[in-house]
Amino acid sequence: MSPFSLELGEDQLAVRDWLHGFAADVMRPAAAEWDEREETPWPIIQEAAKIGIYSLDFYAQQYFDPSGVGIPVAMEELFWGDAGLGLAIVGTTLAAVAVLANGTDEQIGTWAPQMFGTPDDVKVAAFCSSEPDAGSDVSALRTRAVYDEAKDEWVLNGTKTWATNGGIAAVHVVVATVDPALGARGQASFVVPPATPGLSQGQKFKKHGIRASHTAEVVLDNVRVPGHCLLGGKEKLDERLARARERAAGGGKTGSGAGKNAAMATFEASRPAVGAQAIGIARAAYEVALDYAKTRVQFGRPIIDNQGVAFTLADMRTRIDAARLLVWRASWMAANQQPFTAAEGSMSKLYAGETAKWVTAQAMQILGGNGFTREYPVERMHRDSAIYTIFEGTSEIQRLVIARTISGLPIR
């Protein structure tokens, strides 16, 4: 087991500084433009690919860092640069994590590289779980996967919504129900390979924040994928379904809260990383506010000379550091196979998401009228931060998970 440490090693510091350089020199100058354009920033993703930041190798290296902090450090620096561009760069990793969490070694080797493409021909990937009537309640999803034994193919039908990179992705990972009667336990994840007929993009959403990241509906109309596209394989699925049916026959729960399912396995693995993204936004806004408070003069003195402003900055910094500690702890636990006995992953995402929203709101207040305009970046940071209490499990759902875990009770 790797000991928990707050000190980054030489290699980790070098990666952090390298990412910081990219965030400062490439992302920051481009952030406002792509926020206004609300389009996928392909040139920025390409630049990230050319120097190795957008690549399977890079994320695999950080993911397998035994200290656990490789991914959070990387996320914090990129999202310090800009959250919309950051999500455009790392959105693919959500689908990659779904394959890592649920796929066989062969499936990982086949699909993960195709999700990123090459520096000369970059691709993105999408993870499609949410549906119009199944957001927080993942067990309610209706997209069906039916096995066509004669052809060894799965047939997918349904509509996914709010998919990051949905419709523009080369590879889509789709969570579907194989046996609706089993609720969450009857679900499985499927890879939809590039250019598969029947998959199309529905509505593209216009958003409040992270506007450089593409979010859209994905329509699946008789999408046929080969049997080997079922993540984890059919044998494993059949065993799992048989266990779930036995449990259901014995009066066990099958619906929401019935235990781990394909979508939840992905979310569990990615929550601390999402918390780290929120910390990057919060730190960026805090830094702007601190500089501003030291230089903005009112009543003949810098505004930071007022306790009302200085104490707010003290609280901002304290919350950011506390959030980072929670994220690093959860990331270290995950990397070292420590069970989340108090839902530490959810705790980290909850606190970091709420911190980002609160800190960016305080930053706007400290910048006064300037904070409200697009001349200064805190307005964008505030808009971007708002998603961090919503996606990857809302703050309420994180509290629900924590409450159930610490109490052992089926709190609703």
Ligand X SMILES: Cc1cc2nc3c(=O)[nH]c(=O)nc-3n(C[C@H](O)[C@H](O)[C@H](O)COP(=O)(O)OP(=O)(O)OC[C@H]3O[C@@H](n4cnc5c(N)ncnc54)[C@H](O)[C@@H]3O)c2cc1C
For the annotated catalytic residues, the residue numbers are 392
- Kindly calculate the radius of gyration of the chain based on its CA atoms and give it in whole angstroms: 22
By CB under 6 A, name the one of 163, 229, 269, 352 that touches ligand X.
Answer: 163
Q: Rank residues 15 and 223 by Cβ distance to ligand X and give the closer one.
A: 223
Q: Rank residues 25 and 396 by Cβ distance to ligand X and give the closer one.
A: 396
Binding piece for ligand X, criterion CB under 6 A, among 13-21, 42-50, 161-169, 341-349: 161-169
Question: Judged by CB under 6 A, does residue 162 bind ligand X?
Answer: yes
Stretch 190-219: interaction string toward ligand X, x if CB under 6 A: -----------------x--x----x----
- Beta-bridged to residue 171, according to DSSP, are 125
Question: Judged by CB under 6 A, does residue 125 bind ligand X?
Answer: no
Q: Ramachandran region of residue 210, left (φ > 0), alpha (ψ -120 to 50) or beta?
A: left
Question: Judged by CB under 6 A, does residue 135 bind ligand X?
Answer: yes
Q: Rank residues 245 and 404 by Cβ distance to ligand X and give the closer one.
A: 404
Question: Judged by CB under 6 A, does residue 396 bind ligand X?
Answer: yes
Question: Judged by CB under 6 A, does residue 400 bind ligand X?
Answer: yes
- Which residues lie below 8 Å from residue 127, measured CB to CB, with a gap of 6+? 94, 95, 97, 98, 163, 164, 172, 173, 266
Sheet strands (E) in 141-241: 144-148, 153-164, 171-177, 187-192, 199-204, 215-226
For CA atoms 343, 338, 58, 190, the dihedral sign is negative
Question: Judged by CB under 6 A, does residue 34 bind ligand X?
Answer: no
Q: Total binding residues for ligand X by CB under 6 A?
A: 21
Question: Judged by CB under 6 A, does residue 115 bind ligand X?
Answer: no
By CB under 6 A, name the one of 19, 78, 94, 276 that touches ligand X.
Answer: 94
Q: Rank residues 321 and 396 by Cβ distance to ligand X and give the closer one.
A: 396
Phi and psi of 123, rounded to 5°? -125, 160
Question: Judged by CB under 6 A, does residue 102 bind ligand X?
Answer: no
Question: Judged by CB under 6 A, does residue 265 bind ligand X?
Answer: no
The most distant pair of C-alpha atoms in the chain lies apart, rounded to whole Å, by 82
By CB under 6 A, name the one of 56, 264, 397, 402 that touches ligand X.
Answer: 397
Kind of pairing between the strands at 153-164 and 215-226: antiparallel
Pairwise CA distance, residues 401 & 403, whole Å = 6
Pairwise CA distance, residues 412 & 410, whole Å = 6
Report whether 73 contacts 12 (CB < 8 A). yes
Binding piece for ligand X, criterion CB under 6 A, among 9-17, 130-138, 272-280, 310-318: 130-138
Question: Judged by CB under 6 A, does residue 362 bind ligand X?
Answer: no
Q: Rank residues 20 and 142 by Cβ distance to ligand X and give the closer one.
A: 142
Pairwise CA distance, residues 371 & 380, whole Å = 9
Residues that bind ligand X (CB under 6 A): 94, 127-130, 135-136, 162-164, 207, 210, 215, 387, 390-392, 394, 396-397, 400
